[in-house]
Amino acid sequence: MRDALATTLDTLPFERITVVLLTKRAGVNRSTFYQHYATTSDLLIDLVNVRLDETGLAEFDPFELDISSEQPPEFVTKLTDFVESARPIYVSKLTTSAQNTLCVQFMAHLSSVFTHVLACRKPDYVSPLVFISAPALAGSITGPIWAWLQDPDPPAKEDMEGWLWKVIRLALRTRQERYMAREGCPGPVSLN
């Protein structure tokens, strides 16, 4: 059913897609659809979550992040690639409930990624602050991403990647400075 929805979204706006159309394209009956989903919005939310999981955002090695580099790492590119490919879904005329669910689930996914990143940066310093810092970082980039999606004349993907990476670098740098100050270490190399 997810595949049927994905291919249908290539030709029709979401608001014109019905359960009848999807079940015909998927080769299942309506009762099968309703065993899994209450509405087409629920199926769309499921599709977005599966596609987000398939990006591999949560599978990168946080130790490979070079916060002194201005070049966005691969995971930022994967994120913007996903958002750009999902633009038609996110800008569909969804119900407010579906939009809110997609936004919250997107933030939760990013929060789990950043929890992993922050906890791995200094494994000997895992504290409750990680579980505050990670959602704060996820929220700080979700807002600009949502604005990018809604913009009828959006900035280039490469520009968005650069801006997102600056926010992420700043958060990681701040956390590193706090850790180093607590441990009495010299400060990190200054970032532009």
State the DSSP H helix or E strand holding residue 7, giving kind and residue range, or none if neither: helix 2-9
pLDDT at 192: 42
Whole-number CA gyration radius for the chain: 19
DSSP 105-149: HHHHHHHHHHHHHHHHHSGGG--TTHHHHHHHHHHHHHHHHHHHH
Are residues 97 and 43 in contact, defined by beta-carbon separation less than 8 angstroms? no
SS3 content of the chain, % helix, strand, coil (to 5): 75, 0, 25
pLDDT at 2: 92
pLDDT at 189: 44
pLDDT at 176: 66
Q: How far apart are CA 142 and CA 144, in angstroms?
A: 6
pTM recorded for the entire structure = 0.74
pLDDT at 104: 84
Spans of the chain, pLDDT less than 70:
93-95, 121-129, 175-192
> Please, which residues have CB within 8 angstroms of residue 61's CB and are 6 or more apart in sequence?
none
Nearest C-alpha neighbor of 44 from the set 70, 18, 65, 20: 18
Which residue's structure tokens are 């309506």? 30
Tokens of 180: 């180093």
| Cβ-based burial of 124 (10 A; exposed 0-12, middle 13-18, buried ≥19) | exposed
State the DSSP H helix or E strand holding residue 52, giving kind and residue range, or none if neither: helix 40-54
State the DSSP H helix or E strand holding residue 73, giving kind and residue range, or none if neither: none
The gap between the terminal CA atoms of the chain, to the nearest Å, is: 47
